[in-house]
Structure 1
Amino acid sequence: MKVIVCGGGPVDLVPKDLRADYFIGADSGAVHLLQMNIIPNYITGDLDSIRSNDAAKWEMELKSAVKVPTEKDETDTFLALQKAADLLPTQIELVGVTGGRLDHYHAVLHDLLSFQKDYPSIHFSIRDQWNVIRFLTPGRHHLAANSYQYCSFYAFDEDVTGVTLTGFKYPVHMEAIQVGTSRFTSNEIIDEFGSIQFSSGICLCIQSREESGE
């Protein structure tokens, strides 16, 4: 089962090929989905960022929203992620959370890491028109090139050790990705799959394509 959570970031960065078994709209992300002819299965948020003309146009659909107080400890995206995780799917993809305010993106990134740690059996990722972002835990991971052939790796919180990359233009064997280094930026998958294996740490993985790519 795949769940897509759509946030209220710039709609031009939301991928056009959304496919899922269950859709969740986080605040104005619900309007993004409705504009793509996707009726959300669940909507959460305080709806404070939905413009009045959008609220009027989608009044019936937005009546299904679970409204929460404007002043709260959790973000709308966090609450949407929690609902998605409660469904125990195999995959949760976040869209509509890049671009716009950097504080919101940074919050989502930390939420993604927290949920990935708490629900290790669920594959969490962020996707926009040009990037797929995920956190990797120790072990071996296979990354499909698809149209996102460029791949960058960063240490998050602590060094990533025992790193081996195969199927990449620049393979490495038993090296470390240190916190603060950009040396592992913009590698390229040259086989059908690229593989990363490491023994400790949390690795932030960003797969990208050129902005002109389709």
Structure 2
Amino acid sequence: MRVLIVAASPESIPSLPIDVDYVIGVDGGYETLLDRGLNPDLVVGDFDSFTGEVPIDAVRYPSEKDVTDLEIALEAARSHGATEMLVYGALGGRLDMTLSNIGLLEAYPEMRLISAGQMVRLAGTGLYGLPRQDDHYLSLVPWKRANVTIRGVKYPLDHHEIVSHEALTISNEWADESADLIVHEGMVLVLYVKK
């Protein structure tokens, strides 16, 4: 099940996908959905970033809580059987929230964080096909440390140890229509970043 989640970051949100099975508005992200003419299946949050009238069937939470509104939405998506979560409005706002949202990728590997010109996902051990996207760089950021092989790119690596304090795997480019990433050990943030 493919779930669209729209959160409340002040970033510019590109066009939203319509080929989804379920839509969740998160706090001020609800307003973004309404502005795009989309009615969500679920609205959650403490509504500290929403200025309109909160829908009567919204699931409200107190502002003082141990989880973020996005975490609540991710759990709701998972409980509805999500196999892929496309999350917009979770990058580009407050740095602490952006880093926290990136950290959530570890608990929700089915999540993709998407903003204007960027997409972030977390890849654990395994083989991944990374289709070429013109006008974008392909960057890998190890989640601390990882051992990777990457083929079909301008700067390939073979069983190479990468660490978070080195920039070796930033701003790569596709040499073929698709790149192959093999994560032998560890986890890697995979980023598509507009040039």
Name the TM-score class by shorter chain: over 0.9
Distance 1:64 1:145 in 2: 41
Q: Which amino acid aligns with 1:127?
A: I
Task: After TM superposition, give the deviation of residue 81 of structure 1 in Å.
Answer: 0.6
Per the alignment, residue 10 of structure 1 pairs with: 10
User: Which residue matches 1:82?
Assistant: 75
Distance 1:22 1:43 in 2: 11
Overall identity of the aligned pairs, in %: 28
Counterpart contact for 1:150–1:208, Cα < 8 Å: yes
1:148–1:124 distance in 2 versus 1, CA, 3 Å: farther
Q: How far, CA to CA, are the matches of 2:74 and 2:16 in structure 1?
A: 20
Contact 2:11 2:93 in 1 (8 A): no
Is 1:134–1:204's contact at 8 Å kept on the other side of the alignment?
A: yes
In the TM superposition, residue 148 of structure 1 has moved relative to its aligned partner by: 6.1
Shift of the 97–148 alpha-carbon distance from structure 1 to 2, 3 Å rule, reads farther
Indicate whether 1:192 and 2:185 are aligned: no
CA contact (8 A) 1:130 1:209 kept: yes
Residue 207 of structure 1 corresponds to 192
SS where residue 91 of structure 2 aligns? coil
Q: 1:112 to 1:198 in 2, by over 3 A?
A: closer
Q: Equivalents in 2 of 1:178, 1:111: separation in Å?
A: 20
Deviations 1:68-89 (A, max 9, x none): 1111101001000110111222
Please point out which of 144, 155, 165 is paired with 2:142: 155
TM-score (norm. length: structure 2): 0.94
Matches within 5 A, 1:27-66: 27-51=27-51, 54-55=52-53, 62-66=55-59
**Distance of aligned partners of 1:2 and 1:76 in 2 relative to their CA distance in 1, 3 Å threshold:** same
Report if aligned partners of 2:146, 2:183 keep a CA contact under 8 Å in 1.
yes
3-state SS of 1:168 partner: coil
Between 176-185 and 73-82, the greater mean CA deviation after superposition: 176-185
Unaligned runs of 5+ in 2: none
CA RMSD of aligned residues (A): 1.4
Q: CA deviation at 1:196?
A: 0.7
8 A Cα contact 2:155 2:172, kept in partner: yes
State how far apart, in whole Å, the 1-side matches of 2:42 and 2:176 are: 39
- 92, 97, 104: which is aligned to 2:85? 92
How many pairs align? 194
